A = this chain, B = another copy of it.
Amino acid sequence: MSDVKKVVLAYSGGLDTSVIVKWLQETYNCEVVTFTADIGQGEEVEPARTKAQTLGVKEIYIEDLREEFARDYVYPMFRANTIYEGEYLLGTSIARPLIAKRLIEIANETGADAISHGATGKGNDQVRFELGAYALKPGVKVIAPWREWDLTSREKLMAYCEQHDIPVDFSSKKKKSPYSMDANLLHISYEGGILEDPWAEAEEDMWRWSVSPEAAPNQPTYVELTYDQGDITEIDGQAMRPHEVVEKLNKLGGDNGIGRLDIVENRYVGMKSRGCYETPGGSIMLRAHRAIESLTLDREEAHLKDELMPKYAEVIYNGYWWSPERRMLQAAIDETQKNVSGVVRMKLYKGSATVVGRKSDASLFDESIATFEDDAGAYDQKDAEGFIKLNALRLRIAAGKGRKQS
């Protein structure tokens, strides 16, 4: 343990990571650099400065990464209509690669030889942080205190704080939630507590970002989203930067009770866990993006995207953002988005985000062909006979030779 000279810690300013600062200083006898980022979690990050100073930290990084996060991570992911296991919008997963990248960049800037984080040994986040770190700086030392130390209960943590003069009011201002939570621009997650029983319904007062559908307005809200090459660039005709788009949609979605999710998921480390998520903006974005694609994507590229999506989601969920396979999939996905431009009209109402219209200058919808009315010869119905006959040929040959088809 004596080898580490300086370590960059992903520091939230909360109690746990404050304990980690002290524990790293003591255990590794090394300098600690703290890195605190605003990725849209909805809490002030500046207070982390004083806290870090109090703990004797000399190099303190505090950054607003919201735009970068939305533009370079959230947006590319939504181009693929990404959902993990049919439901989960990957709100936690997608934030980790950016943190890992900045940890490594700061390590390089400050001459640190190690990084550290506050994720536990049971979860996915440790994997995501560390895979990213190793991919970007292969010789880096990673310190994961929760896998090493013996502060395995809240009582022991509190005792440690007392012994080391760590002010516990760091986190006591807000009442300790019974849930383990994580928030960023895209979502807030809840785990633990009564959620550990998958049959138990989440309590209404757990949810923080959205009103309940029951409490949402009795009138629907309509919103128009303008897409340019797969990304939302305007809301109701007003140009916005990526993180502003997500923030605005979070507000609209949350106000209308949209984006709550309650699932049991399969972690990369091999266990099932139950989590609840609020992703108001993301839930709107997923449907809207599918809608603009429905008009502008070719059928076969759309289907191929659907076949690749579960793999892409798994790659991100498992923490392989910084990998050749992610770049390979991204290249395929991005290739399809050149014409994914236009406007989608959504209706938001008491928990539902519904597509009610879509239009595009790049639309492949051809009313003159699709029409039930006279199409003036745009489509020759007789072509269908040959189409069916040849598509059936292999089946007919097989049946003719006695193969059972049922």
Contacts and interface: CB of A to CB of B under 8 A. Distances in A.
Contact of A389 (B310, B324, B380, B395): B380
Interface in A367-392: 367, 369-372, 374, 379-392
B349 A214 contact: yes
A392 B314 contact: no
A304 B328 contact: yes
A200 B290 CA distance: 17
Contacts of A323: 298, 300, 395, 405
A304 B325 contact: yes
A311 interface: yes
Given A198-B363, A384-B127, A397-B366, A301 B272 contact: no
A271 B394 contact: yes
A393 interface: yes
B395 A135 contact: yes
B390 A269 contact: yes
Contacts of A137: 399
A182 interface: no
B329 A331 contact: no
Contact of A198 (B198, B301, B328, B358): B358
B264 A358 contact: yes
Given A262-B356, A358-B198, A394-B270, A382 B301 contact: no
B87 A290 contact: yes
A161 interface: no
Interface string A290-324: 11001101111111111100110010000010111
Interface in A345-368: 345, 347, 349-352, 354-359, 362-367
Contacts of A191: 372
Contact of A121 (B201, B362, B384): B384
Contacts of A391: 127, 131, 270, 387
Given A272-B370, A386-B385, A213 B352 contact: yes
Interface in A249-306: 260, 262-266, 269-274, 290-291, 294-295, 297-306
Contacts of A172: none
A383 B324 CA distance: 23
Interface stretch (A12-20, A144-152, A238-246): A144-152
Q: Interface centre among A147, A362, A381, A382, by most B CB within 10 Å?
A: A381
Interface stretch (A30-38, A229-237, A332-340): A332-340
Nearest to A126: B384
Contact of A306 (B85, B135, B297, B392): B85
A159 interface: no
A111 interface: no
| Closest A-B pairs by Cβ, 4 of them | A121-B381, A386-B386, A270-B393, A266-B299
Given A85-B294, A270-B393, 10 more contacts: A85-B303, A134-B388, A196-B370, A263-B294, A271-B369, A272-B366, A301-B324, A324-B405, A328-B332, A387-B390
Interface of A: 81, 85-87, 101, 120-122, 126-127, 130-131, 134-139, 142, 144, 146-147, 152-153, 180, 191-192, 196-202, 213-214, 218, 220, 260, 262-266, 269-274, 290-291, 294-295, 297-307, 310-311, 314, 320, 322-325, 327-329, 331-332, 334-336, 339, 345, 347, 349-352, 354-359, 362-367, 369-372, 374, 379-401, 403, 405-406
25 contacts: A85-B303, A122-B381, A127-B388, A130-B388, A135-B392, A138-B396, A196-B370, A196-B372, A201-B356, A264-B365, A266-B299, A270-B393, A271-B397, A298-B324, A298-B394, A300-B324, A301-B324, A301-B325, A307-B311, A332-B335, A349-B351, A366-B401, A380-B386, A385-B386, A387-B389
